[in-house]
Amino acid sequence: MKFRRSGRLVDMTNYMLHHPHSLVPLTYFSEKYQSAKSSISEDLTIIKETFEQQGIGTLLTVAGAAGGVKFIPKVKLSEAKQFIDELCELMAKPERLLPGGYLYLTDMLGDPSIVNQIGRLFATVFSNRKIDVVMTVATKGIPLAYAVAGQLDVPVVYVRKDSKVTEGSTVSINYVSGSSKRIQTMLLAKRSLKEGSNVLIIDDFMKAGGTINGMISLLEEFDANVAGIGVLVETEGVEERLVDEYISLVKLTAVNMRERDIQVMPGTYFHNMKDNEIGED
Amino acid sequence: MKFRRSGRLVDMTNYMLHHPHSLVPLTYFSEKYQSAKSSISEDLTIIKETFEQQGIGTLLTVAGAAGGVKFIPKVKLSEAKQFIDELCELMAKPERLLPGGYLYLTDMLGDPSIVNQIGRLFATVFSNRKIDVVMTVATKGIPLAYAVAGQLDVPVVYVRKDSKVTEGSTVSINYVSGSSKRIQTMLLAKRSLKEGSNVLIIDDFMKAGGTINGMISLLEEFDANVAGIGVLVETEGVEERLVDEYISLVKLTAVNMRERDIQVMPGTYFHNMKDNEIGED
């Protein structure tokens, strides 16, 4: 099938968006569209310029026989700021308050467009790390983990607190929940993680960090490495933070039940700005 | 900012792909690119033709003052067939067999590209139903539900088997697990579902259908309607199927532990082909 440039641009944009962090040889496109490599290169230049200008991401060109082009999703700094401000505003609504000072976030985490945007932000900030797999803990972290993993083109594994017959043999550890100090168990299917994997840990909420510390201990059992830690919400005011290096999108600084007041501010996301060249603006 | 057609095509493709089933007024694009509506219409024609030709989906044009354009993701019949055949092949691998005749599917369900493709297939087959929300049950159905919901631009709610303090008050029901005949409980956060919602139920596995029947009973408590039922895997050979109308991608027809043999065939997906005009080929 012969394609005109306009059709190629539409189809190539779709293809690149669906294959982030994957090296696509130029021959793939030139054969698909029966077009010269020089035309494909020009198409890619247009796509790259538009992606960068619009804050979609960038295209990296890898030269040589094994070369090709790779789409790296990147959210612009200004867009990330605006989105995190919106998250803060959404989270601070008094009707979220539940007995005990807990927050109802099910609606936010149930919205695929919010979840996907969170995924894009984490994929941006961790884009230059070597990541083989994204790990989370059931249940609330799962949608976030898939959203990040989809943008990084890696699989997801999730830790459970109870064993399931459909997962085969598991490795389990005991850990101390940071805030309640209770001893709990978490487990991971033995065959779900290869030795030496570089693992990005993603979760929805971090209080003292007990659950994330549990995941780190579990990774040690698999001889796997922590490639990064990302949490949607961290809370402030915990005496002893068990996990030190992490990236949070928002920080819950105060919850006042009596006055029905929730204080939320941006998390550590922007602290890592320079390292990761999130945006040019 | 002034855009040339090539840049517009790239950016509009990205925008439409990220806003499925949403009506986008032409003025949104004409203002963003400072281009005449006639040029935008021409762009959209190119995008529509390419999307249809490549099996990405289609663009619907809604005329009039409140009009605009809507992207409907659709997988071509030939692509759906190929993907379901691949799923069958993947599932039939003898190393998936676990004690008790269970199958290990964690790797498949942990791969975002497989999960997203499953989402596209369900979004195709349910594209002409009125759907307000996708519902599933924790844990394995969650990634699938988000993948479908993302393509339909609706939120996800998920039922749990245990109550969580972060969900506020819940509605719970007892149901009989179809295969084990045990009485179980499932619950859903009270404020997660509006009365009268049209709900698409998505799950990973259906044996006798007890869990899905439980979800249907739960929906009655919310005065909500079942808009459709989609399962990744159904099993054959169950005496009494509790749920009648559903769409499955694959059907597990036999598991022979001694000979380590798994028999899998395509499910009911293609039975609904004509109703939904999945593809033109």
Cβ-nearest to A110 among B112, B143, B157: B157
Higher pLDDT, A99 or A164: A99
pLDDT digits (tens, 9 = 90+) for B160-195: 988 777 788 899 999 988 667 789 999 999 999 999
pLDDT greater than 50 at residue B280: no
Q: Quick one: pLDDT at residue A17?
A: 98
Q: Is the dihedral of CA A150, A154, A158, A163 positive or negative?
A: positive
Q: Quick one: pLDDT at residue B274?
A: 55
Task: Name the 3-class secondary structure at A198.
Answer: strand
Confidence class of residue B267 from pLDDT cuts 50, 70 and 90? very high
Cβ-nearest to A11 among B11, B50, B138: B50
Cβ-nearest to A46 among B7, B98, B153: B7
Q: Quick one: pLDDT at residue B208?
A: 85
For residue A119, give the H/E element and its range: helix A112-125
Cα of B261 vs its chain's centroid, Å: 29
B148: phi then psi, degrees, rounded to nearest 5: -70, -45
Q: Quick one: pLDDT at residue A102?
A: 85
Cis previous bond, B139, omega within 30: yes
Q: Quick one: pLDDT at residue A246?
A: 93
> In the block, which residue shows the tokens 């693992």?
A199
Q: Quick one: pLDDT at residue A206?
A: 92
d(CA B8, CA A39): 18
Q: Quick one: pLDDT at residue A236?
A: 80
- ipTM of the complex, rounded to two decimals: 0.94
Confidence class of residue A127 from pLDDT cuts 50, 70 and 90? very high
Residue of A nearest to B20 (CA): A113
Percentage of residues in chain A with pLDDT exceeding 70? 93
The stretch B137-161 carries a mean pLDDT of 96
Q: What length is written for chain B?
A: 281
d(CA A65, CA A262): 56
Q: Quick one: pLDDT at residue A3?
A: 81
The verdict on A14 touching B (C-beta cutoff 8 Å) is yes
Task: Please tell me the pTM assigned to this model.
Answer: 0.95
Closest-CA residue to A23 (of A9, A44, A52, A4)? A44
pLDDT greater than 70 at residue B196: yes
Q: Quick one: pLDDT at residue A1?
A: 60
The verdict on A52 touching B (C-beta cutoff 8 Å) is no
pLDDT digits (tens, 9 = 90+) for A152-211: 999 999 999 887 777 888 999 999 886 777 899 999 999 999 999 999 999 999 988 889
